[in-house]
Amino acid sequence: MEYFIGFLVWLGIGVVGAAVVHKAYRGPDTAFLVTLYLAVMGAFVGGMLGVSGYVYHYPRPLRPGGLLGATAGAFICAYLYHMVARRTT
């Protein structure tokens, strides 16, 4: 159950990250669904990388490394999408 709640928290971080980046740094032809998808995937990848240091010491998604990694991954992936979309138009 702890892993399920942790993954839900990562999902929430991805949704919030997508909304913030989409409002703050929107490209002219960017879609919110693509931003949402990339932010959620970035949150999961970042969260997994943040937890990977604890593999031998009971890895949990709600550890600070996992939460920080999920936040960074969500914002970086969504931001890169909008940055590239701005430069191509």
Identify the residue whose tokens are 């920080």. 68
Are the C-beta atoms of 43 and 74 separated by less than 8 Å? yes
Yes or no: say if 68 and 50 are a contact pair by the CB < 8 Å rule: yes
In the chain, the N- to C-terminal Cα span, in Å, equals 45
pLDDT digits 0-9 by tens, 38-53: 999 999 999 988 888 7
Q: How many domains does the chain have?
A: 1
The letter for the amino acid at 48 is M
Question: Which position has the higher pLDDT, 54 or 45?
Answer: 45
Residue bearing the bigger pLDDT, 25 or 33: 33
Helix axes 2-24, 64-88, angle to 10 degrees: 30
| Contact by Cβ (8 Å): 21, 43 | no
Containing structural domain, residue 79: 2-88
Average pLDDT over residues 49-75: 84
**Model confidence band, residue 89 (pLDDT cutoffs 50, 70, 90):** low
pTM: 0.86
